[in-house]
Amino acid sequence: MKNGGFINNKGEIVINPIFDEVESFYNKAAIVQLNGKWGFVDTSGNIIK
């Protein structure tokens, strides 16, 4: 079940809740899990390779 995403300080969705798991942002990147694979996402929701 995918339900991890990100909101801003106004409570608005800024990155859709498509991730299996998410961690907090640090240095403009957050650790996320998608389809069982771990990676990073930037503040715009782009997957960082």
pLDDT tens by residue, 3-49: 999 999 999 999 999 999 999 999 999 999 999 999 999 999 999 98
- pTM, 2 dp: 0.85
The reported pLDDT for the residue numbered 49 is: 80
| Confidence category of residue 1, pLDDT binned at 50, 70, 90 | low
Number of structural domains (the chain) is: 1
The reported pLDDT for the residue numbered 47 is: 94
- The domain of 15 spans 4-48
The reported pLDDT for the residue numbered 16 is: 96
Indicate the SS3 state at residue 5: strand
**Six-digit token string for 22:** 């998410």
Total residues belonging to the chain: 49
Residue carrying structure tokens 């300080």: 9
